[in-house]
Amino acid sequence: MDWLTEFPELGRRDLRDFRKGIDEGFKSFTREYGESIENFFDPLLQFLIWLERLLLATPWPLFILIVAGLGWLASRNIKIVIGSALSLFLIGYLGMWEDTMSTVSIIIVCTMLCIGLGLPIGILMSRSNRAQAIVTPILDVMQTIPSFVYLIPVVMLLGIGKVPGLISVVIYALPPMIRLTNLGIRLVDREVLEAADAFGASPWQKLIQVQIPLALPNIFAGVNQTIMMSLAMVVIASMIGVTGLGQPVLKAISNQYLAMGLLNGLAIVALAIIFDRISQSYGKRLQNYRGGQDE
Q: How far is the CB of 184 from other proteins (least distance, A)?
A: 13
69 versus 213: smaller Cβ distance to other proteins: 213
90 versus 212: smaller Cβ distance to other proteins: 212
DSSP per-residue letters across 164-189: HHHHHHHHHHHHHHHHHHHHHHHTS-
**In residues, how long is the chain?**
295
3 versus 204: smaller Cβ distance to other proteins: 204
43 versus 291: smaller Cβ distance to other proteins: 291
Distance separating alpha carbons of residues 43 and 25, to the nearest angstrom: 28
Q: How far is the CB of 211 from other proteins (least distance, A)?
A: 11
Distance separating alpha carbons of residues 217 and 279, to the nearest angstrom: 11
Q: How far is the CB of 285 from other proteins (least distance, A)?
A: 12
Compute how many other C-beta atoms are within 10 angstroms of the C-beta atom of residue 36.
Answer: 8
Q: How far is the CB of 133 from other proteins (least distance, A)?
A: 20
Q: How far is the CB of 213 from other proteins (least distance, A)?
A: 5
Distance separating alpha carbons of residues 108 and 126, to the nearest angstrom: 26
155 versus 201: smaller Cβ distance to other proteins: 201
Binding interface with other proteins (CB under 8 A): 189, 191-192, 194-195, 197-202, 205, 209-210, 213-214, 216, 289-294
Q: Cα–chain-centroid distance for residue 195?
A: 36
Output DSSP code: residue 11: P
Check if the beta carbon of residue 126 is closer than 8 Å to that of residue 222: no
